[in-house]
Amino acid sequence: MSHPEEDLGELEELDAIVDVLVDSAPPGSHDQERRHSITSDEEDALSAAGAIAVLRRGLAATPELRQGVVLTLALAVATALGKLAVPILIQQILDRGVFGKDGYRPGFVAAACCGAAVGIIALYFISRATFLRLVRSAEASLLGLRVRTFHHIQRLSLADHVEQRRGALVARVTSDVETLAQFTEWGAVAWIVDTVLIVTTVAVMVVYSPPLAAVAVAVFLPLLPALGYLQRRQLAAYDELRTAVGGTLSEVSELVTGASVVQAYGLQRRTRRRLDRAARTQYKAQMGAAKWFAVMFPLSDFFGALALATVISVGALNGPAWGLDLGKLVAFVFLVNLLLGPIAELSEILDQTQTAIAGWRKILGVLATPIDVTEPENGITLPTGPLAVDFEDLRFTYRTGGEVLRGINLHLPAGAYVAVVGETGSGKTTIAKLLCRLADPTAGTLRVGGIDLRQVAPESRRSTVRMVPQDGFLFDTTIAENVRVGAPETSDAAIQSAFDSLGLGGWLEDVPGGLHAPVGERGGSLSVGERQLVALARAQLGNPGLLVLDEATSSVDPKTEQALSEALERLTAGRTVVNIAHRLSSAERADLVVVVDNGNVVETGTHAELVAAGGTYATLYSSWLGNTRVLRDD
């Protein structure tokens, strides 16, 4: 068994940070802040825009694609000529090489065949070259689009990272770009190539016999709407199938993630029933989709046969009167067949086109999201040493949520240890975010060291204001690299001494591999507490004048807990500290306690003053006392 104690710790920590930053899967403890994160998953500025608008804006966002359109046209013409060569050759040979007025002309036949063969080979090389250039230009533009989108997402304020799910953001730069890649190299090419092929084939028909061409086109016309109808039904069936597969997956996922509950409560038969039901629904959906899939191709086959029968009948009965030759009529047989392929393909890529346009729309939506936090030109450098913090009528509202901070006025003296306490959803984590300028206040000003945070140069702000986040997120690399992050030139010795100065040298020695120990994905090889130790060392290295601590909500094992509180003590010495406190023991030792409730500061003072005042803080404190001390004291 793994140690569930620790797992829960991770879950909760994660959960709490998730509330601050980004949304993720359930286990939640902060429903209030979570609400708005769920709402706007796929909503974006362009959701109402039609396909044409998406195309126009998309082309504007990726100018490299224009070149691709020209290349594709060239490719389309080459492909069409290659395909039309055969029926034209058949007509020429029959009418002029075999059954012409001169009878059999082997020389003409040889010349025509060689000419056609050379032509087809030449067109092959042209197609190859064009296609290659097309792939190159498409890939170049997609790379650009992907990087631009990623960069834009990185620059979005944290408020946007709350609003949209992380998975959705990842999808913007992965699967959405992938669908677009698929589309530019298959779907979009098919659109153009097929259209050109249809147009040129009909053109050849018209040259041979305008009335017979009209007959052939007339028979084919109903195929397009019929295929369109089938396509829509098929899409709907696939939608249903996707939902059904999702249903099956969530049943399996409940069986797997809830295995302990299933076994502890003996729910095997109930689970089996539910799984069977889901599997049957999925099977029905699969067969529903299969039905449309089964009739899709036959429909084209049937229309092809109908067109062939019509062309042959009409041609045979009226051919001589319409000035047709034997070869031309035979060529028609092949031309009719040539039309079938592109028509069927066009109906199939409708689906892909819709997905691609939807993906494109989402990407453009992200690109259209304004960047709230913009860095100043010629920003001011903050002084070194502890800094005072001033809030002036500070307000903050999430884009999709309500007001979180409702006018905060506060002076935090330089060098003070300040504990911010309050219930979940009171707005205290938002204060931490604003202090690091992860978002700008909606109204009011926030001054650090007397300077409006918006005027501060970004490099200065990043080194002077340091946040130690409670989840202790680490990159999947070594401990040393994770401390070095943000200051790439730091030597190993300096990192070691940062750990030593926090009294963590002993802990580091116990880690197999020491500084160069890999921490695993998200830092998973270390415990929650240990990850925080690494974060503390990183903060120590930065020597910040203002330290923002977002305290862990869950318990850490006693040994690490002790190392953690010792290291914190050393780290906080001589700096202004704003501690988003979850433990009243932190509040007890603070120089100033700020109690936040529903977006307002309701009390400030020392621990002793606030307990004596008998307000919100006193209530919180006595309930906490009841839980931890009463028994030991009596």
Partner 1 sequence: MRRGGALLWLSVRAQAGPFALAIVGATLFAVMAVVGTVVIGRITDKVIIPAFEEGGVSNRAVALAAAAVIGASLLRIVGVVLRRYFGQMAQRRMQMLWFKRVTDRYLAVPLSWFDDQPTGQLLAHADADCERSTIAMQPLPFSIGVLIIIIVSMTLLAFVDPVLLAVAVCLFPGLALINKAYTKRVEGPAAATQARVGDVSAVAHESFEGTLLVKTLGLEAREVARLKEKADQLRQERLIVGRLRAGFEPGLDALPSLGTIALLWLGAGRLASGAITTGQLVQAMVLFGILAFPFRIVGFLLEELPRAVVANDRVQQVLVAPKRLLPTTTVALPTGPLDVVLDAVSFTHGPDAVLRDVSARVAPGEVVALVGATGSGKSTLCSLIAHLIDPDAGSVLIGGVPLPETDPVEFHRTTALVFQESFLFSDSVRENLSLGDDIDDDVIFAALDIAKARSFVERLPHGLDEKLGERGVTLSGGQRQRLSLARALLRQPRVLLLDDATSAVDATVERAILDGLRHSVAATTVIVAHRISTIALADRVLMLDGGRITAEGTHHELLAQPSYAALVRAYEQAPL
Q: Which is nearer to partner 1, 153 or 412 (CB)?
A: 153
Query: Min. distance of Cβ 576 from partner 1 in angstroms?
Result: 16
Query: Min. distance of Cβ 52 from partner 1 in angstroms?
Result: 28
Piece in contact with partner 1 (CB under 8 A), picked from 54-62, 406-414, 507-515, 626-634:
626-634
Q: Which is nearer to partner 1, 73 or 255 (CB)?
A: 255
Piece in contact with partner 1 (CB under 8 A), picked from 51-59, 354-362, 381-389, 472-480:
472-480
User: In angstroms, rounded to a whole number, what is the distance separating the alpha carbons of residues 522 and 454?
Assistant: 31
Piece in contact with partner 1 (CB under 8 A), picked from 55-63, 99-107, 494-502, 505-513:
99-107
Piece in contact with partner 1 (CB under 8 A), picked from 346-354, 355-363, 440-448, 463-471:
463-471
Query: Min. distance of Cβ 69 from partner 1 in angstroms?
Result: 17
CB of 86 closer than 8 Å to CB of 94: no
User: In angstroms, rounded to a whole number, what is the distance separating the alpha carbons of residues 571 and 537?
Assistant: 9
DSSP character for 453?
A: G
Query: Min. distance of Cβ 469 from partner 1 in angstroms?
Result: 5
Query: Min. distance of Cβ 142 from partner 1 in angstroms?
Result: 7
Q: Which of 184, 202, 181 is nearest to 192 (CA)?
A: 184
Q: Which is nearer to partner 1, 15 or 390 (CB)?
A: 15
282 membership: H or E segment, kind and range: helix 268-318
CA-based end-to-end distance of the chain? 38
CB of 95 closer than 8 Å to CB of 103: no
User: In angstroms, rounded to a whole number, what is the distance separating the alpha carbons of residues 34 and 162?
Assistant: 8
User: In angstroms, rounded to a whole number, what is the distance separating the alpha carbons of residues 19 and 201?
Assistant: 60
Piece in contact with partner 1 (CB under 8 A), picked from 208-216, 232-240, 296-304, 403-411:
296-304
Q: Are strands 465-468 and 546-550 parallel, antiparallel or unpaired?
A: parallel
Q: Give me 138's structure tokens.
A: 């498409």
User: In angstroms, rounded to a whole number, what is the distance separating the alpha carbons of residues 261 and 265?
Assistant: 6
Q: Which is nearer to partner 1, 494 or 630 (CB)?
A: 630
User: In angstroms, rounded to a whole number, what is the distance separating the alpha carbons of residues 454 and 276?
Assistant: 59
Piece in contact with partner 1 (CB under 8 A), picked from 158-166, 229-237, 357-365, 601-609:
158-166
Piece in contact with partner 1 (CB under 8 A), picked from 61-69, 80-88, 351-359, 492-500:
80-88
CB of 382 closer than 8 Å to CB of 545: yes
Q: Are strands 443-448 and 546-550 parallel, antiparallel or unpaired?
A: unpaired
User: In angstroms, rounded to a whole number, what is the distance separating the alpha carbons of residues 222 and 113?
Assistant: 36
Q: Which is nearer to partner 1, 366 or 508 (CB)?
A: 366
Q: Which is nearer to partner 1, 464 or 496 (CB)?
A: 464
CB of 593 closer than 8 Å to CB of 580: no
Name which position in 585, 589, 612, 613 contacts partner 1 (CB under 8 A): 585
> Which residues from 559-578 bind partner 1, rule CB under 8 A?
559, 561-562, 565
Q: Taking CB under 8 A as the rule, does residue 376 contact partner 1?
A: no
Q: Taking CB under 8 A as the rule, does residue 448 contact partner 1?
A: no
> Which residues from 487-516 bind partner 1, rule CB under 8 A?
none
User: In angstroms, rounded to a whole number, what is the distance separating the alpha carbons of residues 58 and 363?
Assistant: 9
Binding mask 137-156 for partner 1 (x = CB under 8 A): --xx-xx--xx--xx-xxx-
User: In angstroms, rounded to a whole number, what is the distance separating the alpha carbons of residues 72 and 74?
Assistant: 5
Q: Give me 570's structure tokens.
A: 């050393």
Piece in contact with partner 1 (CB under 8 A), picked from 42-50, 364-372, 402-410, 620-628:
620-628
Q: Give me 199's structure tokens.
A: 């147009």
Q: Taking CB under 8 A as the rule, does residue 22 contact partner 1?
A: yes
Name which position in 42, 393, 459, 509 contacts partner 1 (CB under 8 A): 459
The angle formed by the CA atoms of residues 335, 341 and 342, to the nearest 5 degrees, is: 95
Query: Min. distance of Cβ 71 from partner 1 in angstroms?
Result: 12
Q: Which is nearer to partner 1, 263 or 409 (CB)?
A: 263
> Which residues from 216-245 bind partner 1, rule CB under 8 A?
245
Query: Min. distance of Cβ 598 from partner 1 in angstroms?
Result: 17
Q: Which is nearer to partner 1, 313 or 381 (CB)?
A: 313
Q: Which is nearer to partner 1, 48 or 103 (CB)?
A: 103
Name which position in 17, 356, 357, 571 contacts partner 1 (CB under 8 A): 17
Query: Min. distance of Cβ 502 from partner 1 in angstroms?
Result: 18
CB of 260 closer than 8 Å to CB of 219: no
Binding mask 252-291 for partner 1 (x = CB under 8 A): xxxxxxxxxxxxxxxxx-xxx--xx--xx-xx--xx--xx
User: In angstroms, rounded to a whole number, what is the distance separating the alpha carbons of residues 288 and 89?
Assistant: 44
The angle formed by the CA atoms of residues 47, 48 and 54, to the nearest 5 degrees, is: 75
Q: Are strands 576-580 and 417-421 parallel, antiparallel or unpaired?
A: parallel
